[in-house]
Amino acid sequence: MNAVSRCLLVGVAVAFVFGLALLACDKPAQDETDAAAPGVCIPSCAGRDCGDDGCGGSCGKCEPPYFCVAGTCLNEDSPREDAAPGAADAGGEAEDGSPDSADPDATGAGPEIPESEVEPAAETTGPVGPGDGDGDGVHDDEDNCPGLANPSQLDLDADGQGNACDADDDNDADPDDSDCAPQDPKVGAFAPEKCDGLDNNCNYEIDEGEDGLGCLPAFLDADGDGYGDGKAQVCVCNPEAAGYSSVAGDCDDKNAQLSPDVMESCDGKDNDCNGFVDDPGAIGCKPVFWDSDDDGFGGGFAVSCDCKPGGLGVTDKSGDCDDNEADIHPMMSEVCDDVDNNCDGKTDIGCDSDGDGWCGPFFAVMGTPASCPMGGGDCKDNDPLVNPGAKEKPKDGIDNNCNGVADESGGEIKFECQGPCTGHTMAAYLCSMEVCFGDLVLSSQIWSPTGDMVDSSWEAVSHFGNVNNDLKPWAGNSYALLASGPATGTSHTTDLPGGGGAPDPYAKDGYQTYDNVELKLQIKAPTGAIGFSIDYVYFSEEYEEYIGSSFNDKFYIILNAPKTTQGKSVVVNSTACSNPNAYYDFIDPQSGEKKCYIAINTALSEPCSNPKTNISGTGFECGPPDANHGSSTGWLSTSWPIEGDELFTLTFHIHDTSDGIFDSEVILDNFKWLSDPFNAGTVPHSNNP
């Protein structure tokens, strides 16, 4: 047995036992044999670190990005004639001295070649010559596929193994039968994807994924609004592709309604992603004006447009005709002072209706204005013969000189109110409750101590509810309504707009009050007066299911006089309690009796089991215990002392307790000055005038 046969037998034995590739053997020396046996392949990997060993086996494979060229591992930038570093030497070892490993899949017979890639055998004109086993005209020693006819000897990857028998023509480690480009070493299952418009890794997708060769920086755009998350930068082939953007700046990549292209809106969000919420000029903003005098109204043009205007020196209300004077703005009452106090473009309108040089009873007079140089206090401003400068005419029943006494003969002190006394003006409102005292009324104001909007909570009317109920006026042809909700209509479960809560300085229960509304008057008592009285009816939706609870809405008449009350604010309307053992407001220091202010707990409130007063059509009449029914006290009358010529403040106050719904209301009528002895306090009145 010669050396070649022995080498082949050893190779077969090793492959059988250990499953390894056929060992490569060097060609025997010339003195061992003169020629190889016909049909026997002698493998060799001398000078190769990859490719075919000449007998269908492998000398090794190149790892990406290297590929095999003429038995040498090169990358795409290496010159084809230069060998890749680490190539094995002729002795079968790599440059670092490690043994050159044989291909474990090699069997010596070469891979199975698809039928379509087998080259046809070369035509011959005679018998096959010695050393040409496949009969393709190429001697086996020089044939790169000695077991398969391939006369063209094509070898794409120059690995010494012809294409006809090479299972991986381009030597990219991806077999031809799965390689989508079997003759392109840059394309294959193990090739990295590049940004070149090709399917480099044979996954049937082009330029997919992130971090491909030649990729461009981009940002994840999950909401598809064209702006990416600046904190989520990636590298992709196509930054306008779905799911990506080349532009950062999205402050919420889960909401397409928030991006630098969106207009800012007044909604508590940073819509345009500029780092600020509700910027000036946002959609829905309100004009802002300078308010130099801090009276709540600005003058001139808007200086900005804000979502939440307010603060010192600015306001969202305009129309101030003098922004340096806090007592001049659109909500001020007109004063006779040669100034347009309410900014309506008119000065001292209505101050002197009869032209007698004296201003009427509903206007304050400052200095000696041109409208009424004689002063104020004209108690009958539609009659030029009646004013403070006129002489009193006896026995005509008229207070000609407006001193508060008709004919100056003693007895009842009367003032006449000139109608009409209905509507939503202060003049009509005071007239409806018979407060027509000329210049004895120094000021009048309806406002809310809790900051609520009170425009709907007061009105002068001729009748409240059905015309056939027990609520006809006691004097004149009208009366005043004051409520902690809407004054007119039949719906009384409304929280007034704006405002908040405030403690009650007169109650001991400690509950918060809401929807506070007050009529506040500054009055000078006429000479000869020893007291005053007023008639009223108190209504509440809280009656009667909330008696003794925290929802004890109240109505106060508060007097503050330097002599009569020693300058203290005193509630003058109170009565016995409905159940003093369960609830009372204070103990009368003189009688020791437990007392209640006018509220649902007062003994004068009418239980719905037997109401005495017909209040139908008001929305407060008895019914099921709900928000649409209640009860009232019926007509009451409160009388209280005052000294003649005393300057005092009289406040009519109503509020809800513990919440702003289930409103209360009061009718105010027939204010009178008392000059004869009387009993101070609050008593029931006749139910029908």
3-state secondary structure 375-399: ECCCCCCCCCCCCCCCCCCCCCCCC
When comparing pLDDT for 84 and 585, which is higher? 585
Query: What's residue 426's pLDDT?
Result: 94
Alpha carbons 570 and 557: distance in angstroms, whole number: 8
Tell me the pLDDT tens digit for each residue of 251-309: 887 788 888 888 888 988 888 888 888 888 888 888 888 888 888 888 888 888 888 87
Q: Which two tokens stand for residue 402?
A: 């407006």
Alpha carbons 543 and 462: distance in angstroms, whole number: 25
At 202, give phi and psi (nearest 5°). 55, 35
Query: What's residue 280's pLDDT?
Result: 86
Provide the 3-class DSSP secondary structure of residue 430. Answer: helix
Closest CA to 229 of 259, 246, 203, 250: 250
Residues of the chain above pLDDT 90, percent: 29
- How would you classify residue 107: left for phi > 0, otherwise alpha for psi between -120 and 50, otherwise beta? alpha
Tell me the pLDDT tens digit for each residue of 90-137: 333 333 333 343 333 333 333 344 444 444 444 433 344 578 888 888
pTM: 0.46
Runs of H (alpha helix) within 93-207: none
Query: What's residue 55's pLDDT?
Result: 67
Q: Contact 145/121 with Cβ under 8 angstroms?
A: no
Query: What's residue 17's pLDDT?
Result: 28
DSSP symbols for 650-688: EEEEEEEESSS-S-EEEEEEEEEEE-S----EEEE--S-
Provide the 3-class DSSP secondary structure of residue 89. Answer: coil
Tell me the pLDDT tens digit for each residue of 607-661: 888 899 999 999 999 988 777 889 999 999 999 999 989 999 999 999 999 988 8
Q: Is the pLDDT of residue 389 over 90?
A: no
Which residues face 668 on adjacent strands? 480, 536
Q: Which two tokens stand for residue 208?
A: 């997919």
DSSP symbols for 597-629: EEETTBTTSPPTTS--S--TTSS-SS-SSSTT-
Span 362-368, average pLDDT: 85
Other Cβ atoms within 10 Å of 580 Cβ, number: 16
Tell me the pLDDT tens digit for each residue of 545-587: 788 788 889 999 999 999 999 999 999 999 998 888 888 888 9
428: amino acid identity, one letter: A
Q: Is the pLDDT of residue 229 over 90?
A: no
User: Of the given ranges (33-42, 55-64, 184-193, 578-587), which has the lowest mean pLDDT?
Assistant: 33-42
DSSP structural state of residue 438: G
Q: Which two tokens stand for residue 226?
A: 């064209």
Write out the H or E segment, with its range, that includes residue 634: strand 631-641
Span 665-689, average pLDDT: 88
At 574, give phi and psi (nearest 5°). -155, 160
At 599, give phi and psi (nearest 5°). -160, -170
Q: Is the pLDDT of residue 203 over 70?
A: yes
Calculate the average pLDDT of the chain: 79
Span 432-438, average pLDDT: 90
Alpha carbons 528 and 404: distance in angstroms, whole number: 9
